[in-house]
Amino acid sequence: MQKLLSALVAIISFSTFLCGMRATPSIAQEHPSTGSGQETATPEAGKPMVLPPGVTNENVDVKDRPLIIEGDVKGSVHAVNSKVTLMPGATVEGNLTLEGGTLSVAPSTTGMIASIAAERTRTSHAARNSKRGDWFGGQFCLWLLGLGGGVIILLAAPGAMSRVTNTVSLQPGQSLVAGLITAAVMAAALAVSGLIMKTFLSVIWMPILIVIALVSLVVLVFGWLAGMRRVGDLLARRFGQTGGGTFYGRMTLGLSAFFLANAVLGVIVPALGAVGLFLEFGIALMGVGAIVRTGFGKDEPFLDGRFHRTSGSGIG
């Protein structure tokens, strides 16, 4: 039991390392604010920034104040939380980017509408491509987490993992029911803890909340890996491999199948990717149920042992 818990804590550390690498933000440089050739508006509440008739060679940045363009802007315009007004005869040769603002176009500047629409279309496509890249990266991170976690558990607690995976394979329905009940209990415990954290007991309850969250995460990760072994067994039989196979090999097969399916379907149709994740969560719940029924992989099944003892006393 102690070895198994140590292995699960190591998995959490491994997942934190992976997700930390994945979550490292990149610095956007769409509108640099240093150097010459850039005109930045200083915030003045209620006072609009006016670009008078003539030529403005610099890029224009404005935030939290109106912007009125009456002349020609050779650079780009970037407005944040601003009401931008293009007066008759005004032109913007660069990009006109709005974030949380509005745009008013005078009748004689309708030629600008096409370029603005094109810019918004390009921005939309860029955002869509970025989401697809994030989805694939997230699935890849999940796949690596499973491979690394499987190695840790296999080395630290092979016996416990074997007993849990056998329970998933032999009694999938009962394991799923036990997993659903366990998940409901976890959710209720976290919900109650959230309410307590809003009271004067928050300081006292904080360590307990951390323990509840860590235990829930540990059980879900362990159950997920046990369920992936079951998926690997089914796929192997589908391809004619009737042998038992190794735990890590079959787990890797299940993880890889879900990774490919979720990554491809999520890029093509995001809703299908979400369905794949939902199925993967259901398989993880089967593993969670097996964990509870075996008492974290003990030699004698936890719930089954109690059931047999109760049945035997009743018959006698």
The 3-class secondary structure across the chain, one letter per residue, is CHHHHHHHHHHHHHHHHHHHHHCCCCCCCCCCCCCCCEEECCCCCCCCEEECCCEECCEEEEECCCEEECCEECCCEEEECCEEEECCCCEECCCEEEECCEEEECHHHCHHHHHHHHHHHHHHHHHHHHHHHHHHHHHHHHHHHHHHHHHHHHHHCHHHHHHHHHHHHHCHHHHHHHHHHHHHHHHHHHHHHHHHCCCCCHHHHHHHHHHHHHHHHHHHHHHHHHHHHHHHHHHHHHCCCCCCCCHHHHHHHHHHHHHHHHHHHHHHCHHHHHHHHHHHHHHHHHHHHHHHHHCCCCCCCHHHHHHHHHHHHHHC
Q: What is the mean pLDDT of residues 60-71?
A: 88
More confident residue, 15 or 61: 61
More confident residue, 291 or 118: 291
Closest CA to 166 of 281, 301, 279, 285: 301
More confidently predicted of 24 and 122: 122
Stated pTM of the model = 0.53
**pLDDT tens-digit map of 244-255:** 678 888 888 888
Count the alpha carbons within 13 Å of 75 in the hemisphere toward its beta carbon.
Answer: 16
Q: What is the pLDDT of residue 20?
A: 46
Q: Say yes or no to pLDDT of 298 above 80.
A: no
List all residues 6 or more positions away from 291 whose beta carbon is below 8 Å from its beta carbon: 164, 219, 222, 223, 226, 297
State the pLDDT confidence band at 273, using cuts at 50, 70 and 90: confident
Give residue 57's pLDDT.
76
111 compared with 236, residue with greater pLDDT: 236
Mean pLDDT of 171-191: 90
Q: Please determine, for residue 293, whether its predicted confidence score (pLDDT) is greater than 70.
A: yes
> What pLDDT is attached to residue 181?
93
What's the angle, vertex CA 10, arms to CA 7 and CA 14, rounded to 5? 140
Least confidently predicted of 28-42, 79-93, 159-173, 274-288: 28-42
Chain segment 11-20, per-residue pLDDT in tens: 545 454 444 4
Position 26 scores a pLDDT of 35
Per-residue pLDDT tens over the stretch 196-221 = 999 998 999 999 999 988 888 888 88
Please say whether the beta carbons of 12 and 221 come within 8 A: yes
Which of 78, 73, 46 minimizes the C-alpha distance to 62? 78
* CA nearest to 287, candidates 170, 167, 187, 184: 167
| Model confidence pLDDT, tens digit, residues 67-123 | 888 888 888 888 888 888 888 878 888 888 888 788 887 655 555 555 565 566 666
8 A C-beta contact, residue 288 and residue 223: yes
Quick one: pLDDT at residue 101? 80
- Residue 307: the pLDDT is 42
Q: What pLDDT score was predicted for residue 1?
A: 45
Averaged over 16-41, what is the pLDDT? 41
pLDDT at residue number 108 = 53
Mean pLDDT calculated for residue range 232-261: 83
Beta bridge partners of 261: none
Least confident of 72-81, 127-136, 153-162, 294-303: 294-303
Q: What is the reported pLDDT for 123?
A: 64
The pLDDT, as a whole number, for residue 2 is: 46
| pLDDT of 188 | 92
